[in-house]
Amino acid sequence: MTAHDRKADGTTAGNGTGTAGGGGGRGGTEGIDGIDGIDDVLALVGRSPAGPDAGHGAGRGTGTGPATSGRHGATAWSDARALAARSGRPAPDGTPSTRARRVPLDQALGLALAEPLAALTDLPSFDTAAMDGWAVSGPGPWSVRSRGTGSDGDRDGGDDGPGPGLLAGHATAAPLPDGSAVRIATGARVPPDATAVIRSEHARTDGAGHLHSERPVTQGQDIRPRGQECRSGERLLPAGYVITPAVLGLAAAAGYDELPTIPRPRVDVLVLGDELLAEGLPHDGLIRDALGPLIAPWLRALGAEVTATRRLGDDAEALHRAVSASTADLVITTGGTAAGPVDHVHTVLRRTGAELLVDGVAVRPGHPMVLARRAPGRLFIGLPGNPLAAVSGLLTLAEPVLCALAGRTPRTPYHVPVRDAVHGHPSDTRLVPFVHRDEGLVPLRFNGPAMLRGIAVADGLAVVKPGGARPGDDLEVLDLPWNAMATVDGGCFT
């Protein structure tokens, strides 16, 4: 929350005394008592007769403030996200990113591939046994040979009993004569001329030293042929794919010791507001800083390296010095984006010569968010001071910017039916916390801009178009980053 009635979301609360973590006021859904536990939190958004925008602030004034649609230059929500993604991309010149670095496998987790991952070898690189059992040649029954089929450890080719057979990690065995069988372990090289592997539990030997199969044997059964998974040079993953533990295993199997990656974007976080306490209980008009503890871990979950989190208060000169001196890829501020007496973000951006890309977004909560370019490759995002409004800004602007800076493939949007009707803003998009249930998305009651109670138990935010949604309508889903890690489409992973 910002100080001195900033109207950080374009609105102010009713008569309550809000906190940065909880909000105050009597309007909307914030004045409902007796709510305990997640089952009580699940409720239809906007049931209050006051409507969906009542009680949307945490300041000390009254009223609902101007509608976003009346603000000159506010960018449509979907356009703002697209512009944010474009602003973080390098210029398309057809060459690999100059930020690309090769790093050892044990340092690559969570980074994005700077280039497509191509196999350096066939997988598997030789015919291997898929099961413990017997390698056989031709039709049965088969005479059992020792491991001495010319493999290392027994070169005489004798028939001195089954022995341990062919083991993984040993040299190539000699050809297996027709009508013969030899024990083989999973992962071992299949000897030349072998036609199948019979699982141990499907075979028996008789007193005369012959092997019999208790099931029909088919050509090539339980043999993984060379190149079954991929051939050398085959593309396994595209550039921009996030490196998960499974990707590390695939890369190692495909022959890699290092991977070409894009480094994590470096972010400086500046928390503004004279009214914010770093510890203890709120008192004397001071409130706890809820965004300082929230922003940095959220950004790390989006794949960023947070180089610093600093509290500056409402000091225009200190803000100007911090923004001017930052060498981070992205500077993020909280609060100060509106037009109040201590809202200095726009003034500082003008003084530093930044190019304003987005000045307000037609979204509730969070419409006074800002995106600017400080210099080539260096961006600035100003988040509103109210906590849920700031979260809206993280999902609207910061997530697409960081995905682009990190070279990641954006996640494919998806839609899920909503269980209940959701009130909409007349002209702006609404982002509403929800939980997944079998019957669809269930909106959460505590969704005011100053509230964190809803988002703390949410699975994500649902995108509600102007005018609202009816039961059964498909809504776009914005997963929270810790619920979207390592998705097939390259979601963020830490």
Q: Which of 435, 473, 109, 140 is nearest to 303 (CA)?
A: 109
Q: Which of 19, 45, 116 is nearest to 425 (CA)?
A: 45
pLDDT the model gives residue 163: 58
pLDDT the model gives residue 129: 94
Give the distance between the most distant pair of CA atoms in the chain. Answer: 99
Both structure tokens of 20: 């940065």
Residue 19's Cβ-side half-sphere holds a number of Cα atoms within 13 Å equal to: 14
Query: Could you tell me which residues come within 8 angstroms of residue 72 by beta carbon, excluding any fewer than 6 positions away?
Result: none
Measured distance CA(462)–CA(377) in Å, rounded? 31
The secondary structure of residue 1, as a DSSP letter, is -
pLDDT the model gives residue 277: 66
How far separated are the first and last CA of the chain, in Å rounded? 28
Measured distance CA(269)–CA(310) in Å, rounded? 6
Per-residue pLDDT of the chain (494 residues; tens, 9 = 90+): 333 333 333 333 333 333 333 333 323 333 323 333 344 434 333 333 333 333 333 332 323 333 333 445 799 999 999 999 999 987 554 444 557 899 999 999 999 999 999 999 999 999 999 999 999 999 989 999 875 444 443 433 444 445 567 888 877 778 899 999 999 999 999 999 999 999 999 999 998 889 999 999 999 999 999 999 999 999 999 999 999 999 999 999 999 999 999 999 999 999 988 777 677 897 888 878 788 889 999 999 999 999 988 888 888 899 999 999 999 999 999 988 888 788 889 999 999 999 999 999 999 999 999 999 999 889 999 999 899 999 999 999 999 999 999 988 888 899 999 999 999 999 999 999 999 999 999 999 888 887 888 889 999 999 999 999 999 999 999 999 887 543 333 444 33
Whether this prediction's pTM lies above 0.75 is answered by: no
Both structure tokens of 316: 């225009």
pLDDT the model gives residue 72: 56
Q: For the residues of 356-399, what is the DSSP string, one character each?
A: EEEE-EEEES-TT-EEEEEETTEEEEEEPSSHHHHHHHIIIIIH
Measured distance CA(477)–CA(451) in Å, rounded? 20
pLDDT the model gives residue 147: 55
pLDDT the model gives residue 19: 34
pLDDT the model gives residue 404: 93
pLDDT the model gives residue 30: 31
